[in-house]
Amino acid sequence: MEYIRKQNNICLYQPDFDLDETIDCGQAFRWEKVPTEYKCTYTGFFLDRPLTISYDGECFIFHDTGEEDFLSVWTDYFDLDTDYGEIKKRLSADETLKKACEFAGGIRLLRQDSWECLCSFIISQNNNIPRIKGIISRLCEHYGHFPTAVEMAGETPESLGFLRAGFRAKYLVDAAQKTAEGVLELKKIPYMPIDEARKSLMTIKGVGPKVAECVLLFGMYRTEAFPVDVWIKRVMENYYPQGLPKVTKGIEGIAQQYLFHYIRNLEK
DNA sequence: TTCCAGGCGTATC
DNA sequence: GATACGCATGGA
């Protein structure tokens, strides 16, 4: 990893990284694109840690970030120790995946907080991205930060009415109660065999196969998780009627990210 | 106005 | 175990 300190900032030289493709692609919902003098800038959070990050055409600028925070928090969050060039090379043995990797080669998997991710994807069901972001933003504004499961466990669907989350409010309450009571151990699920992990998550009301898969992939870094929505279903029907190629073994979820963006762009 | 959004729970067969 | 339907909300 190549970076330098520049005043209060960290400047990172990083291939295989694009802010729009990584941050603004439906895996995270607490980042906002802001207009600045840079080519591209986002502000957002990991847990309660704020960050403004820019790309100036040459390097990624982590604003007001010390070396310690950069190495202990953001390197992990942006998965900077993983060689995505190597991953793309491997996936590119397959023709369709090769095109997908070329189309959006700057995608990285964010290592998000599991509880925030669980809430986010419960909210995501039958919903669109601007509204998902709106609901999460009202939730954080209400508490002054992203609430813990314990904080939310005392809520009811009615008391969460200010979220305007609709029928999803009761699912959030159930997730909070089960997590706060310890019936569901979010810290242990990442280490479970994948089917056991899926089953545990799906004990929460409002968590079905799709949401469970997203939480495993985006909130627990289980790269073999493979969320299937209408778009990925289309990819499977059109390109992989026999199933995914062997090159995706163990990193199905990363392949999914490349394919998702590729097919959505093709259809547009 | 009507449709739809990175689904899920429930009823019904 | 497969399939149909309703669900809250707000933007297009």
Tell me the residue type at A144: G
Q: Other CB atoms closer than 10 Å to residue A58's CB: what's the count?
A: 9
**Covered bases, chain B (protein CB within 7 Å):** 4-9
Separation of A163 CA and B13 C1' (Å): 38
Q: For A130-146, what is each residue's pLDDT tens digit?
A: 999 999 999 999 999 99
The pLDDT of residue A113 is above 80: yes
Domain residue ranges in chain A: 2-81, 114-220
The whole-angstrom separation of Cα A226 and Cα A251 is 9
H or E element in which residue A33 lies:
strand A32-33
> Which nt is closest to the CA of A164, judged by C1'?
C9
Range A93-116 average pLDDT: 97
Tell me the residue type at A199: K
φ, ψ for residue A61, nearest 5 deg: -105, 115
The whole-angstrom separation of Cα A9 and Cα A41 is 14
Compute the C-alpha angle A15/A17/A20, nearest 5°.
150
CA-nearest of A42, A54, A49, A57 to A74 is: A49
Percent residues over pLDDT 90 in chain A: 94
Expressed in angstroms, the distance from the first to the final Cα of chain A is 36
Q: What is the mean pLDDT of chain A?
A: 96
Q: For A35-46, what is each residue's pLDDT tens digit?
A: 999 999 999 999
CA-nearest of A190, A185, A179 to A221 is: A190
pLDDT at A264: 86
**Covered bases, chain C (protein CB within 7 Å):** 7-11
Residue A267 pLDDT class (50, 70, 90 cuts) = confident
Residue A240 pLDDT class (50, 70, 90 cuts) = very high
> Which nt is closest to the CA of A264, judged by C1'?
B6
φ, ψ for residue A142, nearest 5 deg: -60, -45
CA-nearest of A4, A2, A17, A3 to A85 is: A17
Q: For A174-197, what is each residue's pLDDT tens digit?
A: 999 999 999 999 999 999 999 999
- Is any atom of nucleic acid chain C found less than 7 Å from the CB of residue A127? yes
Per CATH, is A114-220 categorized as 3.30.930.10? no
Higher per-residue pLDDT: A134 or A229: A134
The pLDDT of residue A268 is above 90: no
pLDDT at A265: 84
pLDDT at A86: 98
Contacts of A59 (CB under 8 A, 6+ apart): A3, A11, A12, A13, A14
Range A139-161 average pLDDT: 97
Q: For A4-33, what is each residue's pLDDT tens digit?
A: 999 999 999 999 999 999 998 899 999 999
> Which nt is closest to the CA of A166, judged by C1'?
C8
Would you tell me which CATH number, out of the four given (3.30.310.260, 3.40.50.1970, 3.30.310.160, 3.90.1150.10), belongs to the domain A2-81?
3.30.310.260
- Side by side, the strands of the sheet bearing A49-55 are A2-6, A9-13, A60-62, A49-55, A40-46, A32-33
Phi-psi map region of A171: left, alpha, beta (phi>0 left; psi -120 to 50 alpha): alpha
